């Protein structure tokens, strides 16, 4: 037993207050260098990101004997020693052949065309969302007429119309963005 009644597992905390992604990248780098390390708190951070700060973030633990080497690797990572050189990065515009079938016809090089495609996809999603929401808003309710003798209150009917108008505004805004993008071309 060590101080505060903790078990001595042979691991020491190296870093804390990491985001789950930062912690996983750092863990991968350390394990690639042969350092025995593990994360604590990653599952809590992924399950409820709002608790990350309250729980102290994700913590990285390493073996006691490897702590100094781990600190040196972290310093080297911060200085950029593990950044890939330009010769190792593949560039799609160079047309490097790796034996795979060519994808020249499938790629879109115009950023404006990509943006327009994204706008159209978002428009379709907006229309589907509006249709599903209209169905939920205007579906017959068993609480009101014609299933009971109580008519639907006027405030509920007005609320349905206002919500419907706001929902129709959503695809109209996307149509505006698409028209603006087409005018730029």
Q: Is residue 147 part of a domain?
A: yes
Rounded to the nearest 10 degrees, the angle between the axes of helix 111-138 and helix 154-184 is 170
pLDDT of residue 139: 75
pLDDT of residue 62: 95
Strand partners, 15: 60
- pLDDT less than 50: residues of the chain: 1, 5, 92-93, 96-97, 100-106, 108
**CA R_g for the chain:** 28
Residue 81, SS3?
A: coil
Task: Show which of 23, 58, 79 is a domain's final residue.
Answer: 79
* Cα distance between residue 17 and residue 56, in whole Å: 5
pLDDT of residue 69: 93
Q: What are the tokens at 24?
A: 């996983």
Task: Show which of 38, 63, 79 is a domain's final residue.
Answer: 79
Number of domains in the chain: 2
| β-pairing verdict for 11-18 and 58-63 | antiparallel
Residue 6 backbone dihedrals phi, psi, to 5 degrees: -85, 150
180 & 116 share domain: yes
Task: Give the distance, in angstroms, between the CA of residue 125 and the centroid of all CA atoms in the same chain.
Answer: 19
Strand partners, 61: 13, 38
Is residue 73 a contact partner of residue 79, using CB atoms and an 8 Å limit?
A: no
14 & 64 share domain: yes
* Cα distance between residue 67 and residue 70, in whole Å: 5
Q: Is 121 exposed, middle or buried (0-12, 13-18, 19+ CB in 10 A)?
A: exposed
Q: Is residue 116 part of a domain?
A: yes
Is residue 1 a contact partner of residue 7, using CB atoms and an 8 Å limit?
A: yes
Structural domain boundaries enclosing 55: 3-79
């Amino acid at each position: 037993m060590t101080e505060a009644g903790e078990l001595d597992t042979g691991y020491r905390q190296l870093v804390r207050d990491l985001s789950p992604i930062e912690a996983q990248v750092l863990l991968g780098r350390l394990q690639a260098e042969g350092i025995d390390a593990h994360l604590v708190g990653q599952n809590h951070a992924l399950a409820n990101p709002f608790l990350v700060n309250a729980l102290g973030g994700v913590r990285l633990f390493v073996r006691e004997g490897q702590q100094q080497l781990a600190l040196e690797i972290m310093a080297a990572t911060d200085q950029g020693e593990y950044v890939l050189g330009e010769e190792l990065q593949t560039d799609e515009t160079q047309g490097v052949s790796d034996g795979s079938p060519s994808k020249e016809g499938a790629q879109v090089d115009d950023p404006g065309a990509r943006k327009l495609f994204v706008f159209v996809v978002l428009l379709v999603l907006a229309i589907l969302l509006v249709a599903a929401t209209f169905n939920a808003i205007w579906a017959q309710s068993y609480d009101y007429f014609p299933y009971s003798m109580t008519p639907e209150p006027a405030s509920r009917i007005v609320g349905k119309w206002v919500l419907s108008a706001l929902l129709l505004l959503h695809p109209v805004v996307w149509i505006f963005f698409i028209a603006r993008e087409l005018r730029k071309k």
